[in-house]
Structure 1
Amino acid sequence: MVSIAALALFGWLAFTLVMVGLQVKGASDRIALDQREVQVAESAARVDRYRDSVDAQIARVEQRQQILDALVDRYFENVEVDPEAEAETAASDESSEAIPEAAGLAALENRQLAFARALRVAVDRRTVETAAQIRRFGIDPNALANQGMGGPLIPASVRSHVDDELAELEVSLNRLAVMELSLRSIPSATPTSRVSLSSPFGLRRDPFGGGRAMHNGLDFRGAHGQGILATGDGRVVFAGRKGGYGNCIEIDHGSGVVTRYAHLSGIDVRLGQQVDRGQRIGRMGSTGRSTATHLHYEVRINGRAVNPRPFLEANRNVLENESAG
């Protein structure tokens, strides 16, 4: 009986140990399964975040492309991108590694970066050319472009190296725009529609006394009432009677450059008015110290009269109908 009882107890202990072992293994399997489910869920969440990141990148890239297209349409017809420079910009990001579809997006972004750099080089080259044209008139392009600047300092923030390159491109484009506006303000247009030179700049015989006298401008003959045009963008700083000049208009073009239009029969602008290059400002006449109907035209830099001819000759054929006298 004792042996039977011992055998039964041993069997029960063995059965109990097996059941406990099975329960432990089951619990371990359930824990492992739960862990795998958590990992899968986390992986899915990461993929979703990456896909959201790709969507955000696509939006940014499309916005950049619109900006680049607009800049090219506005300033340039064609900009060539160096393939080697484009290759140097290649770089991987987290989303392109996690999601294969993002690799094409990263490549497009790199191409845009290379294109922005190439466009900036073209912009800087054009700015240099514009500055050289301004220097031909004896005017400092930096002084002309930097006048009237100011305002509170608001630092710009950028999110990536591509945005940084676009920001630098915008700075270059703004400088080019200012430089080209400055060039436009230089008085190099014709002061009247029909140009016929009757007296040059420099020493001449005074038409009244006959002695030698300095002539500080150019005289253009024409018909009474013929339209007089602003030779550059600027602001009217004088409009009225001025001694021997008769009816006279003076326009300030900035950077110390002023043009004077004299002997007018009529004035069509007012003091302080902003005028555009080629805008009609008055009518030809013979007021003041004048022998006949004509326009006396002067260019003054920092108060000193200079020969207007180099300014006018910047436009081809401006004086092709001139006649010396």
Structure 2
Amino acid sequence: MRHWTDRINAAFERYLPEKRLFLRSEDSTRFVRLRALPQAVIITGTGAFVAWTIIASSIVFMEAIGSTDLREQTRREQIYFERRLTELATERDRSAAEAQAAHDRYAEAMDRVATMQGALLASEQRRAEMESGIETLQGSLRERIRERDTARNSLAEIESTTASDELVRAAARLAEVEQTLDFLMNALSDTAQEREAVMALADSASQQVEHLALEYRLIQDRNHRIFSQLEQAVEVSMVPLERMFRAAGLPPEQLLQQVRSGYQDRTTSLMPISISTSGTLDPQGDEARANGVIAALEEINMYRLAAQRTPFAMPVRAGVRQTSGFGTRRDPRTGGQRMHNGVDWAGAQGTPILTTGAGTVTFAGRQGGYGNLVIVRHDFGIETYYAHLHTINVNVGQRVSRGDRIGGMGTTGRSTGVHLHYEIRVGGRPINPMTYIRAAQNVF
């Protein structure tokens, strides 16, 4: 073995000559001899340590940059989501107003059509009466024509056989018959003109009814396209919210029921639409679809309220690194295995600690191994713990919102360095906080 090391030392002495380190004391002098092989081992170990330090620092730096970009992207997506909801609500209100205006126009048109139909029926009745009168007049006319012919024949006979007084009476009778015929002909002409006017009015009313029916069908088609787009947009907006709550172990149906039971105020824009109709218009299809969209928007609003009251956010935002996760780990003090009920982030002392959801402060003070501790009670039986704080900025009973500062990072209590210990408890049972944080990564 020694012969093998001597050969290696001989090979490296050309590049790493032997060095001696002298150690002098008061009464003696000693030296340590460093041959080529130990020098090579020391240089290699030092270089490996420096390389590992550079690589680890680069990884930490890249993770910090990546987390900052992810939060900025999440903030932009949240702004876009809110703007999209506002646009959908505006478009829904506009389409509802247009549908109501179209309904009013159609109802007015149906009233006009009903009036025209009444006038048409009255004119048809008058035309039937006139036709009956014309038939009677025609019968009277034929009778008068026969009388006129008879009178002419009698006049001819009188002219040849009777005296002049009989001729005068026959001429007077003939004049009377001709006057009656003139009256009947004028009555027939007036009746024909009135019948033509009534028929023209009926044709105009029929054309107007067809035009209104076509306009109504176009409005229905446009409303169908608008409602289809609204329904699709609402579904796309609601799916990520349902997925987020299910990933966090919160059943959406039970969650919405609890939010509705404690939320009585309802905005006018989310009230169901109720349209009073008359005549033959049946808007139940559009009304039902509009109320369906309104109900979905109200459900999205309930999800938004529930998300504000649920701890989905990060308790620290910048300049920190995660040092310990949830679960069994090696205790840094005793060296034994111990359950770790939260997640630890290390950073500079005084780093702002923020609430992860709206709630009420139930504890703010010192508590055993937690050191300076703040406990916030949220809805749905959820509590969040913020431990080892350097400073506490809230009081018991205080209402806090997501993002409010409750203290600064420290190292109080059972701690080996400056860090935040963060816990989430549901019904008093600790769960992994990263479940909530990861569930909301693609939503907020």
Which TM-score applies when normalising by structure 1?
Answer: 0.65
Which of 136, 157, 163 aligns to 2:274? It is 157
Which of 364, 369, 372 aligns to 1:240? It is 364
Identify which range, 141-150 or 102-111, moves more after superposition.
102-111
Shift of 1:228: 0.8
Which of 199, 215, 229 aligns to 2:324? It is 199
For 1:200, the aligned partner's letter is G
Cα distance in 1, alignment partners of residues 215 and 192 from structure 2:
38
Alignment of 1:1-325 (within 5 A): 3-30=163-190, 33=193, 94=209, 97-98=210-211, 103=214, 106-107=217-218, 109-149=220-260, 156-158=273-275, 160=283, 161-179=285-303, 182-183=306-307, 185-193=309-317, 194-204=319-329, 213-231=338-356, 233-241=357-365, 243-244=367-368, 245-269=370-394, 271-276=397-402, 278-314=403-439
For 1:124, the aligned partner's letter is E
For 1:16, the aligned partner's letter is E
Distance 1:287 1:39, change over 3 A: farther
1:230–1:275 Cα contact (<8 Å) kept: yes
Cα distance in 2, alignment partners of residues 17 and 272 from structure 1:
112
1:248–1:263 Cα contact (<8 Å) kept: yes
Cα distance in 2, alignment partners of residues 19 and 314 from structure 1:
103
Distance 1:252 1:112, change over 3 A: farther
Cα distance in 2, alignment partners of residues 156 and 112 from structure 1:
15
For 2:258, the aligned partner's letter is Q
Shift of 1:169: 1.9
Shift of 1:173: 2.8
Distance 1:280 1:147, change over 3 A: same
Distance 1:255 1:28, change over 3 A: farther
Distance 1:29 1:264, change over 3 A: farther
User: Secondary structure of the residue that 2:406 maps to in structure 1?
Assistant: strand
Cα distance in 2, alignment partners of residues 252 and 28 from structure 1:
96
**Over aligned residue pairs, what C-alpha RMSD do you find?**
3.8
For 1:296, the aligned partner's letter is H
Shift of 1:217: 1.3
Cα distance in 2, alignment partners of residues 267 and 17 from structure 1:
122
1:144–1:254 Cα contact (<8 Å) kept: no
User: Secondary structure of the residue that 2:411 maps to in structure 1?
Assistant: coil
Q: Deviations over 1:199-228 (max 9, x none)?
A: 332334556666654332122222221101
For 1:14, the aligned partner's letter is L
Cα distance in 2, alignment partners of residues 308 and 181 from structure 1:
20
Cα distance in 1, alignment partners of residues 294 and 272 from structure 2:
15
Cα distance in 1, alignment partners of residues 194 and 430 from structure 2:
91
2:245–2:439 Cα contact (<8 Å) kept: no
For 1:157, the aligned partner's letter is S
2:360–2:378 Cα contact (<8 Å) kept: no
For 1:240, the aligned partner's letter is A
Cα distance in 2, alignment partners of residues 212 and 242 from structure 1:
26
For 2:211, the aligned partner's letter is A
How many residues of Structure 1 are paired with residues of Structure 2 in the alignment?
266
Distance 1:37 1:12, change over 3 A: same
Shift of 1:307: 1.3
Which structure: larger Rg?
2
**Hey, what does 1:73 align to over in structure 2?**
none
Which TM-score applies when normalising by structure 2?
Answer: 0.50
For 1:162, the aligned partner's letter is D
Shift of 1:28: 4.8
1:239–1:269 Cα contact (<8 Å) kept: no
Q: Which sections of structure 2, spanning at least 5 residues, go unmatched?
A: 1-157, 278-282
Q: Which sections of structure 1, spanning at least 5 residues, go unmatched?
A: 51-93, 318-325
Cα distance in 2, alignment partners of residues 4 and 236 from structure 1:
130
2:324–2:344 Cα contact (<8 Å) kept: yes
1:229–1:280 Cα contact (<8 Å) kept: yes
Shift of 1:139: 1.5
2:259–2:305 Cα contact (<8 Å) kept: no
